[in-house]
Amino acid sequence: MQIKNQYLADLYEEISKKNSNEPEFLQTVYEVFESLVPVADKRQDLIDAGVFSRMVEPERTIIFRVSWVDDNGKVQVNRGYRVQFNSAIGPYKGGLRFHPSVNLSIMKFLGFEQTFKNSLTGLPMGGGKGGSDFDPKGKSDGEIMRFCQSFMTELAKHIGPDTDVPAGDIGVGAREIGYLFGQYKRLRNEFTGVLTGKGFSYGGSRIRPEATGYGAVYYVENLLATYGEEIKGKTFAVSGFGNVAWGTVQKLTELGGKVVTISGPDGYIYDKDGVNTPEKIAYMLEMRTSNRNRVEDYADKFGVPFFAGKKPWGEKVDVIMPCATQNEVNLD
């Protein structure tokens, strides 16, 4: 489908040629350009100043080797990324993701969107994203620690409280942030606000793990209000079982909603009574920290159906909330 502004359409074609092997990044650029058609139609000054073309080019893209030693004494090598996309209104801010799917296209996609999300907060924060194709699944605590130390040894050259402040994301929770922060302190000999998502005992914020999920629910709450509806009494299909899903389930339950699904890489569970008791919500936390990366354990513990290799979007509910990763919902 053609972007309905010739300048933006031509610019998108140019960007597509430059980034032809980055489908996720091109997808988000296309979506943003479509939304900016009314702006481009009226603001020739922005076109003349090159604002649109500058907006889609990261200020800095850092790719680096991460060598670490596994429990068998063998050297493993992964690839690390930090895309410092835009610092127009403040230091780069965005999470670190450790997952086998991580590549440059996904990092640019997420960093580009993070720029807009951060600007909407009203706080002086730019946008960035980073991570590695390292897979924490099945790794020991020692292996994860050694990987994080090697990763930070390179990343520390490029971040700082007034430069770039990473956070957690998929595969990077309080444990990993702790390892990363410890290595940063060792390298720089300073205790400073260079990472968010730290444990509360050493400078972290209360409810930080739940914050993203809470924000998603507040968004849905306000969206429903525009239709004269509310969360109370509605059923929800939630995907994922990590930090975002955990916070989402907590807040939906608190506001009177009933969550009937959570999911993982292995499939999803359907709990007709709701994932709504302290025991069930606490078990989500236990699953998240167990490093097993599967929700079938929930089905075994609470005697509910498990659907292997499937997504929960076919269940009959009032609202779906994707809380696992990007591009979870499509036209299929």
Catalytic annotation, residues: 129
- Which H helix or E strand runs over 268? strand 267-270
State the Cα–Cα distance between residues 255 and 65, nearest whole angstrom: 46
CA-to-CA dists, residue 273 to 158, 252, 259, 281, 303, angstroms: 48, 14, 9, 13, 11
End-to-end CA distance of the chain: 18
Q: Which residue, chain included where needed, has tokens 């790794």? A: 139
- The pairing of strands 306-308 and 319-321 is unpaired
Residue type, 242: G
Helix or strand or coil: residue 114?
A: helix
Alpha-helix runs per DSSP H in 226-320? 243-254, 278-289, 296-302
